[in-house]
């Protein structure tokens, strides 16, 4: 009997292998809270959103179009924000104005070669949503981006063209009021719900 207890205690002290899955349950990280070890699990955020109460068929169609357009342009907005951060870091290191201009010109050529055909295929409403989402992701309006990259004259010229077509490059993203449908569509895309 004593020999059996001794054998069981020896086998219970075997080395813990991190690479073999447990027989039952889940392996997770842990943290110590008030002297007690508590499991620590990272989970994805869960967005709880009430469904829209549509006033009429037109309102439902507007929501459907917004969802569709956001799904198309949101990847471009994320990519644009990442590129802008990358360019800002590189430009901050450059003191020479000639080097900055050459760098910006090269970046513009690269972006044209990579995305020009795809962006030309966007509809006007998709372009408007893209401008809003770039502001959402980068914190800069498209007017500010053009002004930084191309200068104040080019930014003013493109703002005038946008105003002719009823758009505003200086418009900021307002997730709570004006752009609530866009924000809800973004949350659905992020959650993988459509």
Residues 142-168: tens digit of each pLDDT = 898 888 888 899 889 989 998 888 888
Q: What is the number of domains present in the chain?
A: 1
Report angle CA 143, 144, 145 to the nearest 5 degrees. 90
Q: How confident is the model at residue 5 (pLDDT cuts 50, 70, 90)?
A: very low
Q: Answer whether residue 97 is part of any domain.
A: yes
Phi-psi region of 166 (alpha: psi -120 to 50; beta: other; left: phi over 0): left
Q: Answer whether residue 84 is part of any domain.
A: yes
Task: Tell me what pLDDT residue 3 has.
Answer: 45
Judged against a pLDDT cut of 50, whether residue 20 lies above it is answered with: yes
Tell me what the mean pLDDT of segment 39-56 comes to. 79
**CA distances from residue 109 to 114, 118, 157, 176 in whole angstroms, order as listed:** 9, 15, 20, 36
Q: How confident is the model at residue 66 (pLDDT cuts 50, 70, 90)?
A: very high
- Assigned token pair, 113: 């070669």
Task: Tell me what pLDDT residue 118 has.
Answer: 87
- Higher local confidence (pLDDT), 7 or 43: 43
Q: Answer whether residue 39 is part of any domain.
A: no
- Domain of 83 in residue numbering reads as 57-101+113-191
Across 30-39, 41-50, 94-103, 176-185, least confident range: 41-50
Which pTM was predicted?
0.71
Q: Answer whether residue 19 is part of any domain.
A: no
Judged against a pLDDT cut of 90, whether residue 74 lies above it is answered with: yes
Q: Answer whether residue 79 is part of any domain.
A: yes
Tokens 């002297």 found at: 35
Tell me what the mean pLDDT of segment 81-91 comes to. 87
pLDDT digits (tens, 9 = 90+) for 94-103: 888 888 888 8
Residue of 171, 169, 182, 175 whose CA lies nearest to 62: 182
Q: Answer whether residue 14 is part of any domain.
A: no
Distance CA 71, CA 189 (A): 7
179: Cβ–Cβ under 8 A, 6 or more apart, which residues? 132, 136, 173
Q: How confident is the model at residue 6 (pLDDT cuts 50, 70, 90)?
A: very low
Q: Answer whether residue 66 is part of any domain.
A: yes
- Whether the CB-CB separation of 164 and 50 falls below 8 Å is answered with no
Tell me what percent of the residues of the chain surpass a pLDDT of 90: 16
Tell me what the mean pLDDT of segment 111-126 comes to. 86
Quote the longest CA-to-CA distance of the chain: 93
Q: Answer whether residue 29 is part of any domain.
A: no
Residue-by-residue DSSP string for the chain: -HHHHHHHHHHHTPPPPSSSPPSSS---EEEEETTEEEEE---------PPP--SSHHHHHHHHHHHHHHHHHHHHHHHHHHHHHHHHHHHHT---HHHHHHHHHHHHHHHHHHHHHHHHTS-HHHHHHHHHHHHHHHS--HHHHHHHHH-HHHHHHHHHHHHHTT--TTPPP-TTTTTHHHHHHHHHHHHT--
Task: Tell me what pLDDT residue 16 has.
Answer: 60
Task: Tell me what pLDDT residue 88 has.
Answer: 85
């Amino acid at each position: 009997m004593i020999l059996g207890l001794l054998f069981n205690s020896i086998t219970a002290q075997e080395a813990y292998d991190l690479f073999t899955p447990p027989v039952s349950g889940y392996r997770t990280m842990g943290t110590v809270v008030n002297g007690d070890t508590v499991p620590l699990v990272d989970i994805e955020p869960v967005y709880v959103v009430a469904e829209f109460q549509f006033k009429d068929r037109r309102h439902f169609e507007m929501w459907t179009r917004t969802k569709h357009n956001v799904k198309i342009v949101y990847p471009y907005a994320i990519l644009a924000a990442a590129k802008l951060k990358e360019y800002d870091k590189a430009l901050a290191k450059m003191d020479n104005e000639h080097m900055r201009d050459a760098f910006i010109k090269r970046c513009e050529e690269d972006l044209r070669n990579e995305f020009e055909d795809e962006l030309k295929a966007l509809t006007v409403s998709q372009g408007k949503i893209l401008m809003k989402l770039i502001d959402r992701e980068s914190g800069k309006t498209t007017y500010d981006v053009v002004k930084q990259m191309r200068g104040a004259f080019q930014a003013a010229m493109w703002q005038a063209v946008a105003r002719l077509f009823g758009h505003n490059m200086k418009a900021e993203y307002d997730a709570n009021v004006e752009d609530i449908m866009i924000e809800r569509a973004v949350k659905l895309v992020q959650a993988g719900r459509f």
